Amino acid sequence: MRAEYDFSKGKRSALLPAKGKTRITIYIDDSVLNEFRARAERIGTGYQTMMNEALKVFLGKNEQPVTATVLRQIIREELPETSRVTRRSTGRAKTARR
């Protein structure tokens, strides 16, 4: 062994980096944190795991934004054909075409 070691170019980090997760500092409202802790305790899991799962679900539901085109398509699919009636500027009803 050497009498002295040079750590001037050393980097502080874990010996084996964790894959897939990153440690961060985040500020969460006390009420939100307390609710996650209470729910996690009831089902017997960790509150951080539960928060991570909730964020994954949120991101999965919002993969693509709802644009005007997507919204129109959803409305066309959901509304029955007979309810698609529009009003002309003259006040007369006209059945909308596809």
Per-residue pLDDT reduced to its tens digit, 22-71: 888 889 889 899 999 999 999 999 999 999 988 888 877 766 666 788 77
Taking the whole predicted model, whether its pTM rises above 0.85 is answered as no
Number of domains in the chain: 1
Residue 45's pLDDT is 92
Using the Cα atoms of residue 43, residue 45, residue 50 and residue 51 in order, give the sign of their dihedral. positive
Q: Is residue 49 part of a domain?
A: yes
CA angle 48, 50, 56 (to 5 degrees): 105
- pLDDT higher than threshold 60 for residue 83: no
The answer to whether residue 86 is domain-embedded is no
The answer to whether the CB of 82 falls within 8 A of the CB of 93 is: no
Residue 40, judged by CB atoms within 10 A of its CB (0-12, 13-18, 19+), counts as: middle
The answer as to whether 62 is a domain residue is yes
- Cβ–Cβ < 8 Å for 13, 23: no
Is the model more confident about 3 or about 62? 3
